[in-house]
């Protein structure tokens, strides 16, 4: 049921810009909405079934897989490097709450945006640690007058990192992204559109995402993007990442009840539903990057997950709240370290983070914004507790 997904994501994208901690909580609510697969309040209480759906493994360019992979190792820089990504300091700003003061002026609230640091990546090391990109050739799809090209991906049972471009002669209008969205909640789909796309899986496991736009490489006609994705629960064997494309019979901005009664909206919605088309494209059938397990922690070169209930002795309710993970650091054997999260000092060095994940809803998950050599990890620090890696 993708109306609820897109509508919720658009709300998160264009309304009040908020802190990472609050955003993680809202993102979890968004994920639960997707998991429930129900429409509430604005929509009829009925299951969504698509009128048309197709599953295809798409081969779009006649380039041998090995040649394509070898010639495109620079996708690792797009995923984990810093040649075109900008590290940003802590930003103190204000956000519009969507409410007004007594005099009619916008009611603003102070917001602290954490710093984000990107580091360089050795493409060969990244390939050695991940096994290389999972796609032997890009997937190219036409979304009306936009061309979407999924270039490559790496993934494990916790999440995925996907590079893609979106282009349109005369300017990209389907996706909204900028330096501002990069430091906030990521790029988002525009409201006035007839198409949508999202990254998920071939099973009932879905993904939340943060889309980073490379503003240095991008032009008005072509956007270069990296999607950092986390699954709502560990990926099962035989379940693979996929791209879903949705074509609506009208603009998404018109998919709302307005002043209609519940019965009238139900009829209108059923008509829209019957004319909505989707296509699912499996992006790879290659195996996942293996993850390592350390007590309450699971990690790989691209992600980490911490069970806050088991690792920190929190109650299930406390572990559900991502705000209870205050500090996360990976220390290496050579004395260097990677501070993934430091709430006190406003540091957020990740591609995407979400709380309340996993079947137990007690996991805090993070997609790295850099490649991590798991063979060189000495210990992992969670809040004030240290977990040595033997």
Query: What's the mean per-residue pLDDT of the chain?
Result: 84
91 vs 41: which has the higher pLDDT: 91
pLDDT tops 50 at residue 172 = yes
Q: Is the pLDDT of residue 42 over 50?
A: no
Residue 2 has pLDDT above 80, yes or no: no
Q: What is the mean pLDDT of residues 369-376?
A: 97
> Which pLDDT band, with edges at 50, 70 and 90, does 19 fall under?
very low
**Residue 40 CA from chain centroid, whole number:** 23
pTM: 0.82
Q: Reply yes or no on whether the pLDDT at 5 is more than 50.
A: no
Fold of 292-388: Immunoglobulin-like (2.60.40)
Under the banding of pLDDT at 50, 70 and 90, the label for residue 73 is: low
The predicted pLDDT at position 136 comes to 86
Kindly indicate the confidence band of residue 80, based on its pLDDT and cuts at 50, 70 and 90: very high
Nearest CA-CA partner of 192 in 127, 251, 116, 257: 251
Residues 267-289 pLDDT 10s = 999 999 999 999 999 999 999 99
The domain limits of the chain are 2-63+121-282, 292-388
- Looking at residue 132, its pLDDT comes to 84
The C-alpha atoms of residue 80 and residue 287 are separated, in whole angstroms, by 21
Confidence of residue 29 (pLDDT cuts 50, 70, 90): very low
The string of pLDDT tens digits covering residues 93-120 is: 998 888 999 999 999 999 999 999 999 9
Higher-confidence residue: 309 or 45? Answer: 309
Q: What percent of the chain has pLDDT over 70?
A: 81
Residue 37 has pLDDT above 70, yes or no: no
With a cut of 60, say whether residue 151 has pLDDT above it.
yes
Question: pLDDT of 281-333, one tens digit each?
Answer: 999 999 999 999 999 999 999 999 999 999 999 999 999 999 999 999 999 99
Provide the pLDDT confidence category of residue 72 given band limits of 50, 70 and 90: low
Report the range of poorest mean pLDDT among 170-174, 230-234, 334-338.
230-234
Higher pLDDT, 357 or 9: 357
How large is the average pLDDT for residues 234-255? Answer: 93
Least confident of 56-70, 237-251, 286-300, 356-370: 56-70
pLDDT of residue 304: 98
Q: Which range, of 7-11, 114-118, 336-340, averages the lowest pLDDT?
A: 7-11
pLDDT tens for each residue of 176-210: 999 999 998 999 999 999 999 999 999 989 899 99
């Amino acid at each position: 049921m993708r109306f609820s997904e897109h509508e919720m994501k658009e709300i998160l994208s264009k309304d009040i810009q908020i802190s990472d901690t609050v955003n993680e909580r809202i993102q979890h609510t968004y994920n639960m909405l997707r998991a429930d697969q129900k429409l509430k309040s604005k929509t009829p209480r009925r299951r969504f079934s698509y009128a048309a759906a197709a599953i295809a493994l798409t081969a779009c360019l006649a380039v041998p897989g090995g040649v394509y992979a070898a010639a495109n190792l620079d996708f690792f820089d797009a995923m984990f490097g810093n040649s075109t990504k900008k590290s940003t300091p802590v930003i103190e700003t204000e956000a519009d709450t969507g409410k007004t003061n007594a005099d009619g002026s916008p009611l603003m609230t102070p917001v602290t945006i954490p710093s984000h640091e990107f580091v360089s990546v050795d493409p060969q090391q990244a390939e050695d640690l991940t096994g290389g990109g999972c796609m032997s050739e890009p997937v190219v799809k036409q979304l009306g007058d936009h061309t979407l090209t999924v270039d490559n991906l790496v993934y494990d049972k916790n999440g995925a990192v996907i590079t893609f471009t979106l282009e349109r002669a005369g300017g990209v209008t389907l996706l909204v992204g900028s330096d501002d969205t990069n430091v906030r909640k990521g790029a988002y789909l525009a409201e006035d559109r007839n198409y949508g796309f999202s990254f998920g899986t071939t099973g009932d496991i879905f993904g939340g995402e943060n889309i980073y736009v490379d503003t240095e490489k991008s032009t008005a006609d072509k956007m270069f993007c990296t999607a950092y994705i986390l699954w709502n629960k560990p990926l099962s064997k035989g379940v693979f990442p996929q791209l879903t494309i949705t074509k609506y019979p009208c603009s998404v901005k018109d998919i709302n009840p307005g002043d209609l009664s519940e019965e009238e909206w139900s009829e209108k919605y059923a008509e829209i539903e019957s004319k909505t088309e989707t296509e699912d494209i499996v992006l790879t059938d290659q195996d996942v990057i293996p993850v390592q397990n350390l007590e309450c922690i699971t990690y790989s070169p691209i992600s980490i997950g911490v069970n806050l209930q088991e690792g920190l002795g929190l109650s299930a309710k406390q572990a559900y709240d991502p705000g209870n993970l205050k500090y996360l650091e990976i220390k290496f054997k050579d004395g260097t370290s990677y501070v993934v999260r430091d709430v006190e000092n406003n540091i957020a060095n990740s591609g995407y983070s979400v709380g309340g994940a996993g079947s137990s809803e007690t996991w805090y998950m993070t997609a790295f914004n850099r490649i991590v050599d798991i063979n060189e990890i000495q210990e992992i620090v969670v809040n004030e507790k240290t977990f040595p890696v033997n």
